[in-house]
Structure 1
Amino acid sequence: MALSSQTGRRDRRLALVAAGVTVVLWASAFVSIRSAGTAYSPGALALGRLLAGTLVLGAISLVRREGWPPRAAWPGIVWSGVLWFGLYMVALNWAEREVDAGTAAMVVNVGPILIALFAGRLLGEGLPRPLLAGMVVSFAGAAVVGLSMSGASTSGTGQASVLGVLLCLLAAAAYAAGVVAQKPALRHAGALQVTTFGCLIGAVACLPFAGVLVSEAARAPLAATANMIYLGVFPTALAFTTWAYALARTTAGRMGATTYVVPALVVLMSWLALGEVPGLLALAGGALCLAGVAVSRRRPPAPRPA
């Protein structure tokens, strides 16, 4: 019994570390998307990123002899591949051309709320009070971060187009649906298998952009192509695998709430990499995001024995 308890605590710690790796790399993706998006259109950037990710994941899977996922895992892999790896990435790349970073961070962070609602309804996870409370606090923090950054758009106007906001909502919905579809697949296949074949499915879904990718790659600067490859290797191949590892060991709602840290990390990375000193409002929003995640990950108290 003691050994089982220790194993459970170790798994929870490893899942927390894996989730931390994921959110750091996903936060860095916002910077790379901005850089690569100057030379690559949304569909071509998504395809190039997914091809790079598939090559890395495929090579690792061959070395580890992972093999094909069981038949029961394929529905979740296909749906998550099309919705999350495919539609989400195209929509997000397009959205970041239309809205400033603050608006994108604020609107896309509707996703964790949708994950909790979908998972509670479709996966029977329920909506524990700590999760609901943490979601409210973190969403408030994400909104504060978004408002604080709304004046730092690429155009300098801080304005968001209706199209851009709709694309952010589409990305959030695709992200949430993909996570909820992926969770059942992880009951039948390993994290690496689910991520590898999900990435492959996403790349196949984006193949209509192959011609555009080839033509844009021929004239793109090296920095933009390097950022596209970085997106495929780290925020996709590595971060999606660590995400799947952590998701297999906790609920979809709790994992979704963890991603509220991303806007806070984006502020920090912009500060360190671009010299953009965050204001007090941004720092307060980041603190709220972190506090909300801490609240959401609290385990409800065990019922007292009669």
Structure 2
Amino acid sequence: MVRRHLGLGLVAMLLSCAAFGTSGPFAKALMTAGWTPGAVVLTRITGAALLLLPFTLWALRGRWREVAHELPRVALYGSLAVAAAQLGYFQAVARMPVAVALLIEYLGIVLVVLWVWALTRVRPHRLTGVGIVLAIGGLALVLDVTGQSTPSLVGVLWGLLAATGLAGHYVLAGRPTALPATSFAGLGLTVGAVALGLLGLVGALPMHRGSGAVVVAGAEIPAWAAIGELVVVAAALAYVLGVLGARHLGSTLASFVGLTEVLFAVLFAWLVLGELPGVVQLVGGVVLLSGVVAVRLGERDRARRAEQAVETDFDVPSPVA
């Protein structure tokens, strides 16, 4: 069982969000050059799985019985949190603005809170509820979606699939397991790659490669360079750090810290594409982070009350002398 460290979990989660936030410009460049969303996702996930394979096997030496025990959860994580989340997001991006797709995907944080509530039968703290409102409101301001046209219904459905996958990531990655974070992420990526590959083989998911050159930040670069970034940074590194961070922070807090991916996405869009965030987006960032703080305070207060309740139970004298 992993002993939780808030500082380590927070750093790992923020780095994971930054890594995930780099995927937008590079994936968009590939799709603009004729790559289908399925091909981009499959290439990204397969490359990351292969990159992590040596580390995964090394970490699992002598622990194959534990792998067999955790296989159902790994399979669910790979299918839901890897394949469904990434495919849903890129399919949505292909049909609507990136901002709208991100907003729909991050509705998954609400699903996390509801899932934890249903699983534990413990109502979220009032501050957690306030955090939900602040985080969603701040996210809407950061994405500045008020002026967007009505999104495609098909795109919305793909975005909801991505939201479900995102919720699955935080719930499944945040639960204690005997498998190291690198191995869990590597096995999950492998399952996701196999699932998407099978869909491509049967023709259910179009897999078409586009041009060998893409345009990023106004400059033409080889397609393999964009793919390399998606594989190494936006997939392998992002998933390993995300699993590590979720284990130390827990599902609920990790899901809210994960909202900072949007801030990183805005930052990288500014650095790579020259898109400077507006005043509304900056205000939204402050509101979003306030929501994260509210969730943290709510979770801390609930944990303190639970500890006090346990201590009170032990202090009650026994009726039997």
The residue number in structure 2 matching 1:46 is: 41
Instruction: Please tell me whether the aligned partners of residues 135 and 292 of structure 1 are also in contact (alpha carbons under 8 angstroms).
Output: yes
Is the deviation greater in 274-283 or in 115-124? 115-124
The residue number in structure 1 matching 2:165 is: 174
Q: Say whether 1:281 aligns with 2:280.
A: yes
Instruction: Please tell me whether the aligned partners of residues 118 and 177 of structure 1 are also in contact (alpha carbons under 8 angstroms).
Output: no
d(CA) in 2 for partners of 1:125, 1:46: 37
The residue number in structure 2 matching 1:74 is: 71
The residue number in structure 2 matching 1:194 is: 184
CA gap of 1:124–1:56, structure 2 versus 1, over 3 A, is farther
SS in 2 for 1:249: helix
d(CA) in 1 for partners of 2:54, 2:147: 41
d(CA) in 1 for partners of 2:126, 2:155: 33
Paired amino acid for 2:67: P
Instruction: Please tell me whether the aligned partners of residues 173 and 247 of structure 2 are also in contact (alpha carbons under 8 angstroms).
Output: no
Paired amino acid for 1:120: W
SS in 1 for 2:283: helix
Alpha-carbon RMSD across the aligned residues, in angstroms, is 2.7
SS in 2 for 1:134: helix
- How far is 1:116 from its partner? 1.6
Structure 1: which 5+ residue stretches go unaligned? 1-6, 152-157
Paired amino acid for 1:130: L
TM-score by length of 2: 0.81
Is the deviation greater in 83-92 or in 65-74? 65-74
1:52-131 to 2 correspondences below 5 Å: 52-64=47-59, 66=61, 68=64, 69-122=66-119, 127-131=124-128
Structure 2: which 5+ residue stretches go unaligned? 214-220, 313-321
d(CA) in 1 for partners of 2:223, 2:206: 12
TM-score by length of 1: 0.85
Equivalent residue for 2:212, pick from 220, 227, 232: 220
Instruction: Please tell me whether the aligned partners of residues 131 and 254 of structure 1 are also in contact (alpha carbons under 8 angstroms).
Output: no
d(CA) in 2 for partners of 1:18, 1:126: 28
SS in 2 for 1:202: helix
d(CA) in 1 for partners of 2:138, 2:29: 26
Instruction: Please tell me whether the aligned partners of residues 40 and 220 of structure 1 are also in contact (alpha carbons under 8 angstroms).
Output: no
d(CA) in 1 for partners of 2:181, 2:3: 18
d(CA) in 2 for partners of 1:291, 1:246: 20
- How far is 1:206 from its partner? 0.9
- How far is 1:125 from its partner? 6.8
- How far is 1:148 from its partner? 4.9
Q: Say whether 1:19 aligns with 2:13.
A: yes
Paired amino acid for 1:197: L
Percent identical across equivalent pairs? Answer: 24
The residue number in structure 2 matching 1:29 is: 23
- How far is 1:115 from its partner? 1.2
The residue number in structure 2 matching 1:261 is: 260
- How far is 1:30 from its partner? 1.9
The residue number in structure 2 matching 1:4 is: none
Q: Say whether 1:247 aligns with 2:246.
A: yes
Give the count of matched residue pairs: 291
Paired amino acid for 2:250: T
Q: Say whether 1:136 aligns with 2:133.
A: yes
- How far is 1:244 from its partner? 1.0
- How far is 1:51 from its partner? 1.1
